[in-house]
Structure 1
Amino acid sequence: MSGEKGPVIFVDDDDDLLPAAGQMLELAGFSPIVVNSAEAALARIDENFNGPVVSDIRMPRMNGLQLFDRVKAIDPDIPFVLITGHGDVELAVAAIKDGAYDFISKPYDTERLLVTLNRASENRHLVLENRRLRDAVVRSAGDMPLLGNAPSMTWLRETIRQIADTDVDVLVEGETGTGKEVVADLLHRWSRRSTKPFVALNCGALPESVIESELFGHEAGAFTGAHRRRIGRLEYANGGTLFLDEIESMPPALQIKLLRVLETRQVTPLGTNETRSINVRVVAATKVDLSDPSARGDFREDLYFRLNVVTVNIPPLRERREDIPILFAHFLERACKRFGKPEWEITAAARNHLMGHDWPGNVRELAHFADRVALGLEGARNSLPGKRGDELSLSLSEKVSLYEAAVIRNALRECDGDVRRTTEFLQVPRKTFYDKLKRYGIIPGVYRSSRDCSKSS
């Protein structure tokens, strides 16, 4: 479909050439903007222009090199491709060293130009996406909890604000790694209880003999090893919030005791008959559907109904994919700062992984992936966007062309730019070699500072 790849500005003072160039770009999926002067091109370019610029070098009033300088002053990250005549090759090589994206010799090969523009367009999209994500991370710096703009997350934040100060017990449902403790913490921080303790207990992490003491407390001598009095989590959270994670893992015997506490707001520590009144809000979290008898197992139905005054569901990451880039950008920036790494950048390979993976571990898995990328342990970080970056979206012929051009460049580099030795090294006829140099816009002289291929193994 036309326009899928974004705009391309094509500049040439040959009015007879422009319609054909525009048609070629449109058929390739771009939105062509064909103009016959550098001045007309500049009128269409700002720092948010979402595509590459292609320009002939020789034009009246303002030539292609002058246009390149003006575009670079607007935004040096706009890919600029020069169309050169035979006598302008050295100028184009100098422009490449000065930041131009690529150059193509006349008469240019259409396939070669389109391969270059596909990569240039992808590069530009990545640059702008990274800028947007950096801005979004800065804007959301003070509102990190439950970051995301998916409708489900907007609803979740609004629901939490609505019920945070109501003192009602809450059941939080969500898969592993979705951020259930973050929700519980927000319910506490956005309530009048925020000045009192927020106490968390993972019901699945402790054996039954320990969790009872942790939850209800005990007196000295209540059991072997109880040498001193211990205040339980319920009592310690008095005035604040008790977060019970993995509530479905709580032993059945303790479920009965917890149900009574929720109904009476009184606790009886082990080793005493004394009951103590408590003012505590309970937020329980589960990764299973407790409303389904087959899923809740031996979890008591009456305790479920007691906890289910208000239920908050956290959507898994795969159901809000539009939030993945901003979440990853936040985690990656945080990881880079923590590990003392350079400024972060999301590459094409990283983006493809982000949007193609199902993230069964949800936000927690995404954060760990960001840590690995920041540490350089993921290949995605080292795949540079742009000229030689991600090739997943290219056709087979484009991939073959990229590979062939890379082989030729490497051979020239090994052979110090010497054409005769390079053709012998590659075992190709000289005419075929020159045809390929012309097709890929490769200048042998650029490689004359490299080592001799005879020393290559």
Structure 2
Amino acid sequence: MPDRPATPVIIVDDESHMRFTTGQTLELAGYQPLAIASAEKALEALEQDFPGVLISDIRMPGMDGMALLREVHARDPELPVILITGHGDVSTAVTAMREGAWDFVEKPFAGDELVEVVRRAAETRRLALENRHLRAELEAQQSAPGPRLVGRTAAIAQLATMVSRVSQVEADVLLFGETGVGKDLVARAIHERSRRSGAPFVAINCGAVPESIIESELFGHEKGAFTGAVERRIGKFEHAQGGTVFLDEIESMPLTLQVRLLRVLQERAIERLGSNSAIDLDIRVIAATKVDLKAAAEAGRFREDLYYRLNVVTLLIPSLRERREDIPLLFQHFAVVAATRSSLEVPPLDSAGVSVLLAHDWPGNVRELRNLAERYVLIGSAHDYRLDLLLDGSGADSGELSLARQVEMFEKSLIDQALARCHGRISEACQHLDVPRKTLYDKLKKHGLRAESYRREDGGDKAQPLNA
């Protein structure tokens, strides 16, 4: 795997020998020093989202270090600024820290002392920029209509294409997928992208409503229709007028009720319990199941005619195991959501953590991954941010994937994130990954990635592959 590019460090000092010795110390420690003689020149060299650290002497002609600190933080409050103070200048150092300096070092200082301060500041800067980037992506996703589909694997890209197409037609839809893959989110995405987006989206879990009241829940009833019916009730179908009804776990619907549902689908009309008057419906029905309805129909557990009526358009939602390369991206997405909701920072995810994510079998699919990301943000510090300990004590069976396969998937994930961050600009991605252009092109071909698919105009829509 390629090493991370050297972190740039701007050194501002009017004394040439201090610029030289400080720069040499940091270069030997693996940093990329940029020595500048004045604060004014340093501000000219400071680019937006500068990925490194700034070190400045306090006492300089013209703009001094304190003024530079204030100007830098007016542009970017999260950029670490380390100030160099003279011997015994304690009051100035205290003032600097109060005004937001990351740290200060006192002349004369040891090289290893400076390197350690820079190391901590550089790591903080890296995490701040990573969080900034992830939050920007989250805001962009939230600005688009409906739930976003997060991921870039072929399976999820195909699903995103189908969701886009199906949302523009009026056909009823059947969603098929394992527990936790996000069938409800796909249903909402279809609704929000359709002409019905301004009308209600009514979700009904057919397995959670008691059989004794499900008919009244769906179709409503008139006053006096049965004991306890003290007033008229509008059912879920009628309440969804103009919008979408989502029937989750449709396989759990009682056979007797399936007959009435079939009539609703065919005639687009209902009758409340206790009434003989038909009410016309303008709704779309989206059903979801985790079982093979055709097999259930053949076994007599589901009405065959209802199966064929629902099976106009079927969307298969892939399990997390079928799109492992999306797992790190999805995890980061959910971590940002959890951190934003809780006003916390997103902890760093190291290579060991990525290996755990890729090796786990994810029986709970996206729902399980989301819960893990939330635990990681909220209580991860109590477990040293070890994902194997946060997986409900189950750990991750590293034997499920070979080492070569884990390395391959990790590499693809890093390249994918670099291309997304650089919006498909190859030269920037090469610099970010610290690899030659030819090497990156070879790896793009190997992993089936295309730089063009990451390019977009600022503010444009992003790829929409599944979050749940």
TM range (shorter): 0.5 to 0.7
How far apart are residue 50 of structure 1 and its match? 1.5
Contact 2:58 2:85 in 1 (8 A): yes
> Whole-Å Cα distance in 1 between the matches of residues 295 and 255 of structure 2?
15
Distance 1:303 1:6, change over 3 A: farther
> Whole-Å Cα distance in 2 between the matches of residues 293 and 5 of structure 1?
58
How far apart are residue 289 of structure 1 and its match? 4.6
**What residue number does 2:253 align with?**
250
How far apart are residue 188 of structure 1 and its match? 3.7
- Aligned-residue sequence identity (percent) comes to 40
> Whole-Å Cα distance in 2 between the matches of residues 66 and 222 of structure 1?
79
**What residue number does 1:346 align with?**
345
**What residue number does 2:292 align with?**
290
**What residue number does 1:322 align with?**
329
> Whole-Å Cα distance in 1 between the matches of residues 225 and 66 of structure 2?
87
Higher relative contact order (CA 8 A, sep 6+): 2
Letter in 2 for 1:24: L
Contact 2:176 2:314 in 1 (8 A): yes
> Whole-Å Cα distance in 1 between the matches of residues 116 and 288 of structure 2?
52
Distance 1:197 1:189, change over 3 A: same
Structure 1: where are the runs of 5+ without partners? 337-343, 384-389, 394-457
Distance 1:292 1:50, change over 3 A: farther
**What residue number does 2:21 align with?**
17
Task: Report matched runs for 1:156-167 at 5 Å.
Answer: 158-167=161-170
Task: Report matched runs for 1:10-409 at 5 Å.
Answer: 10-11=11-12, 13-14=16-17, 17=21, 20-26=24-30, 30=31, 32-38=32-38, 41-56=42-57, 64=65, 67-84=68-85, 86=87, 91-106=92-107, 108-133=109-134, 135-136=136-137, 139-140=140-141, 142-143=143-144, 145-147=146-148, 150-151=151-152, 158-173=161-176, 180-193=183-196, 198-216=201-219, 232-234=235-237, 237=240, 240-259=243-262, 261-263=264-266, 265=268, 280-286=283-289, 288-290=290-292, 293=295, 298-299=301-302, 303-313=306-316, 319-325=326-332, 329=336, 335=341, 344-348=343-347, 360=364, 362=366, 378=378
Moved more, 116-125 or 12-21: 12-21
Contact 1:133 1:326 in 2 (8 A): yes
DSSP 3-state at the match of 1:171: strand
> Whole-Å Cα distance in 1 between the matches of residues 217 and 384 of structure 2?
55
> Whole-Å Cα distance in 2 between the matches of residues 221 and 392 of structure 1?
59
> Whole-Å Cα distance in 1 between the matches of residues 89 and 234 of structure 2?
83
Distance 1:58 1:190, change over 3 A: closer
> Whole-Å Cα distance in 2 between the matches of residues 67 and 216 of structure 1?
69
Q: TM-score when scaled to structure 1?
A: 0.60
Contact 1:176 1:362 in 2 (8 A): no
Structure 2: where are the runs of 5+ without partners? 387-468
Contact 1:199 1:242 in 2 (8 A): yes
Letter in 2 for 1:143: A
**What residue number does 1:404 align with?**
none
> Whole-Å Cα distance in 1 between the matches of residues 228 and 180 of structure 2?
36
DSSP 3-state at the match of 2:124: helix
DSSP 3-state at the match of 2:45: coil
How far apart are residue 49 of structure 1 and its match? 0.9
Q: TM-score when scaled to structure 2?
A: 0.59
Distance 1:206 1:142, change over 3 A: same
Distance 1:3 1:326, change over 3 A: closer
How many equivalent pairs are there? 368
Contact 1:146 1:157 in 2 (8 A): no
DSSP 3-state at the match of 2:261: helix
Q: CA deviation digits over 1:149-183, x for unaligned, max 9?
A: 53367765553342224211112345656654444
Distance 1:190 1:75, change over 3 A: closer
Letter in 1 for 2:311: N
Letter in 1 for 2:329: E
Contact 1:213 1:232 in 2 (8 A): yes
Q: CA deviation digits over 1:212-254, x for unaligned, max 9?
A: 3433556777766567776654466565432212213223443
Distance 1:71 1:188, change over 3 A: closer
How far apart are residue 284 of structure 1 and its match? 0.8
> Whole-Å Cα distance in 2 between the matches of residues 144 and 367 of structure 1?
24
Distance 1:199 1:149, change over 3 A: closer
> Whole-Å Cα distance in 1 between the matches of residues 252 and 96 of structure 2?
66
**What residue number does 1:420 align with?**
none
Letter in 2 for 1:100: A
How far apart are residue 195 of structure 1 and its match? 6.4
> Whole-Å Cα distance in 1 between the matches of residues 237 and 20 of structure 2?
82
The higher radius of gyration belongs to 1
How far apart are residue 77 of structure 1 and its match? 2.7
